[in-house]
Structure 1
């Protein structure tokens, strides 16, 4: 059965790998799975056909036969559970990898997304200058804790896993802010993730979509 995912027809990040379909592409590449991509416009994301796949009108979605999924974490977990390459064989190590998946999305990413909101959505609000340093401090606290746990290891728990895939993807969102550079261990960790051939293929695929001529052009 062909796997089909959805992605932005034109990504807000211009193809820098920050859109969440890149995470799913990366997981599929790590698992060695072929897949098709259906590009959707911002208008189409709010129409009934797409809302039937993703009730919140976002991307990505994942379709395989009769199965339709949304939410990046759930999609990556499904891929990892059914194909080799993203979960270790040992049951306890697998459970720890799942824990890191949840940590990436539920503990590390929320303050990072808050920073993006403060800088770009609320950039013209009177409270921005007071709120920004508070959000940055919350992020630094999380990064300090994460860097301490990572230590000098290459990955979070032994070999590379879906936990690392999501954590690297989350940390990549910090690069434009410069905060990641304050934590050399984490910057090196992200660089190791980006250097993986599967990530390189996923990044190139997302970039190619955004480098192509506009459908309206």
Structure 2
């Protein structure tokens, strides 16, 4: 049965290909799970009813009519989809625990640094505080990436086989491209390139990009 994923019909150019509905799209593509999209106007107010599904009006949210489930937050959605197919979440107890651990690590131990880097380099670009913050932020992030690189040494995928952990981590690492954090650590660059070379990622990315409309007049 088809699941429904919520996304946006427009975002600024810098966000195209990075909106988080890409993550469940990728997971669905990996296992051939049909999905439909409910596209919201990112440039305008969210429908009031949507706040009952996602308290902050963000994307993605997912409706799974087959199981009668509504769920939000990309990590929770990936975990839900992983329960459907061992190609996304291993059934071996230790491999499953490892995949879940890395799923949470991607979003709690790595991605916050990427949020701050985006704030410094995009949303507060040129501001004095951002210029002062960047060196220490890069040093802090670098330490995180060093530990991640150490953990990735000798691994093809985080939990042994490809899983939702890799969808999460690769999605986060894409945010660091061009910063030097990935490029200076070949084991992480190689890992990211393996992940984004997967046909399911390419299909999910193309599908997201195809859904974006031209910029509305207010955002042009």
- 1:13 and 1:93 map into 2 onto residues whose CA distance is 38
Q: Specify the alignment match of 1:34 in structure 2.
A: 34
- Tell me which residue corresponds to 1:81: 83
Shifted more, 41-50 versus 109-118: the winner is: 41-50
Asked if 1:12 corresponds to 2:17, the answer is no
**What does 1:101-112 align with in structure 2 at a 5 Å threshold?**
101-112=103-114
**TM-score, length of structure 1 as denominator length:** 0.92
Once residues 49 and 43 of structure 1 are traced to their aligned partners in structure 2, the CA distance between those partners, rounded to angstroms, is 17
Q: Do structure 1's residue 153 and structure 2's residue 166 form an aligned pair? A: no
Give the distance between the partners of 2:98 and 2:157, measured in 1 at CA: 12
Distance in 2 of aligned mates of 1:198 and 1:82: 17
In the aligned structure 2, how far is the partner of 1:12 from the partner of 1:70? Answer: 23
State the match for 2:197 in structure 1.
195
Greater mean alpha carbon deviation, residues 18-27 or residues 1-10: 1-10
Evaluate the alpha carbon distance shift between residue 7 and residue 45 of structure 1 in structure 2; reply closer, same or farther with a 3 A threshold.
farther
> What is the CA–CA distance in structure 1 between the aligned matches of 2:127 and 2:121, rounded to whole Å?
10
> What is the Cα deviation at residue 67 of structure 1?
1.6
Aligned partner of 2:49 in structure 1 is 49
In structure 2, the CA distance between the partners of 1:16 and 1:184, relative to structure 1 (3 Å rule), is farther
Q: Distance in 1 between matches of 2:45 and 2:164?
A: 27
Segment drifting more, 140-149 vs 122-131: 122-131
> 1:109-148 maps to which residues of 2 (within 5 A)?
109-148=111-150
Offset at residue 16 of structure 1 (A): 4.5
Partner of 2:168: 166
Q: How does 1:198-217 map to 2 (within 5 A)?
A: 198-210=200-212, 213=214
Deviations 1:20-56 (A, max 9, x none): 0101100111121000001111255533122121111
Higher helix share: 1
The alignment covers a number of residue pairs equal to 216
Residues 178 and 159 (structure 1), Cα distance of their counterparts in 2 relative to 1, 3 Å cut: same
CA 99–206 in structure 1, closer or farther in 2 if over 3 Å, else same: same
Q: CA deviation at 1:2?
A: 2.8
